[in-house]
Amino acid sequence: MSVGKLYPWAHQQAIEEGLRNATDSAVGQPCDYLSLSRSGYIGSQRFCSIIWSGDTSSVWETLSAQVASGLSAAATGWGWWTLDIGGFQADPTIWWSANIDTEPYRELYVRWQQWATFLPFMRNHGSRNCDTKDAFTCNNEPWTYGASNTPIIVSYINLRYQLSSYLQAIFKQFSESGRMIMRPLFMDFSTTDSNINNMTKMNSNATTQQYMFGPRVLVTPVTLPNVTEWTVYLPDTGVSNGTKPWTYWWTNVTYAGGQSVTVPAPLEHVPLFHLGSRGDIMSGNVF
Nearest-angstrom CA–CA distance, 12 and 45: 9
Output the tens digit of pLDDT for each of the chain's 287 residues: 566 678 888 888 898 999 899 888 888 888 888 888 888 888 888 888 898 998 999 999 999 999 999 999 999 888 899 999 999 999 999 999 999 999 999 999 999 999 999 999 999 999 999 998 888 899 999 999 999 999 999 999 999 999 999 999 999 999 899 899 999 999 999 999 988 988 877 778 888 999 999 999 999 999 999 999 999 999 999 887 668 899 999 999 999 999 999 999 999 999 999 999 999 999 999 87
| Residue 259, strand partner residues | 234
pLDDT at residue 23 in the model: 87
For the structural domain made of 180-283, what CATH number should be given? Answer: 2.60.40.1180
Q: Which of 128, 84, 124 is nearest to 105 (CA)?
A: 128
pLDDT at residue 255 in the model: 96
pLDDT at residue 242 in the model: 65
Nearest-angstrom CA–CA distance, 236 and 256: 8
Instruction: Identify residue 151 by its one-letter amino acid code.
Output: P
Cα atoms in the 13 Å half-sphere on the side-chain side of 256: 8
Nearest-angstrom CA–CA distance, 36 and 182: 19
Q: Which of 60, 52, 54, 64 is nearest to 220 (CA)?
A: 64
Cα–Cα distances in Å, from 274 out to 86, 214, 268?
A: 25, 10, 18
249-255 contacts: CB < 8 A, separation 24 or more? 249/273, 249/274, 249/278
Name the strands in the sheet holding 81-82, side by side, starting at the edge strand that comes first in the sequence. 35-37, 49-52, 81-82
Q: Which of 43, 42, 50, 60 is nearest to 15 (CA)?
A: 50
pTM of the model: 0.94
Q: Which of 78, 18, 4 is nearest to 45 (CA)?
A: 78
E strand or H helix at 67, and its extent? helix 60-75
Q: How many CB atoms lie within 10 A of CB 259?
A: 13
Q: List the domain boundaries for the chain.
A: 180-283
Cα–Cα distances in Å, from 155 out to 152, 230, 268?
A: 5, 20, 9
